[in-house]
Amino acid sequence: MSIKIGDKLPDVTFMSVGPDGPAPKSTSDIFGGRRIALFALPGAFTPTCSAKHLPGFMERADDLRAKNIDAIACVSVNDVFVMQAWAEHKQTGSTIEMLADGNGDFTRAIGLVLDGTGFGMGERSQRYSMIVDNGKVEALHVEDGGEFKVSSADYMLENL
């Protein structure tokens, strides 16, 4: 069963890309006391993720902050070093907090696993976006397989 609006996020530990290198961060460290625009994608450096999903949130960051969003975070079932390399490649700086769900613990706990084994990718995250207010899901937009519509920054802004 997947997470839904009104649910509290599960307590898991991500690896986060920060100015001092990789560091563990708990769900409460990231989402506690803040309103976060979170988006998830199947993989760093993959075509739609690199060309549209991440850049869209970078381009619309100021617009999201104007709508009382404290921070923007990206989660993927990749290891922290891949997320760090992708952040450097895409020059996310402090605009996007890159969260590595390397073992897929968060993705499984919220029930949004994508089976990518047919493509040699293993278990990944479905593509989605959500607004999380102090650890509680305020809005959730999960894509149908292979689509990129409702998880975009533009769609999020239209529905805030």
Report which DSSP code applies to 8.
B
Domain contains 3: no
Domain contains 7: no
CATH of the domain at 56: 3.40.30.10
CA distance 133 to 123: 27
Domain contains 80: yes
Contacts of 125 (CB under 8 A, 6+ apart): 40, 41, 42, 75, 76, 77, 101, 104, 107, 112, 113, 114
- The per-residue pLDDT for 37 is 98
What range defines the domain where residue 107 resides? 13-158
Cα distances from 112 to residues 19, 28, 123, 144, in angstroms, run: 29, 20, 10, 11
This model's pTM is above 0.85: yes
Domain contains 27: yes
Domain contains 100: yes
Going residue by residue through the chain (160 aa), what tens digit of pLDDT does each one get? 799 999 999 999 999 977 788 899 999 999 999 999 999 999 999 888 888 999 999 999 999 999 999 999 999 999 999 999 999 999 999 999 999 999 999 999 999 998 777 887 778 899 999 999 999 999 999 999 889 999 999 999 999 9
- The per-residue pLDDT for 12 is 97
- The per-residue pLDDT for 120 is 73
Domain contains 2: no
Domain contains 94: yes
Domain contains 5: no
CA distance 76 to 96: 13
Please state the domain count of the chain: 1
CA distance 117 to 32: 34
Q: Catalytic site residues?
A: 49
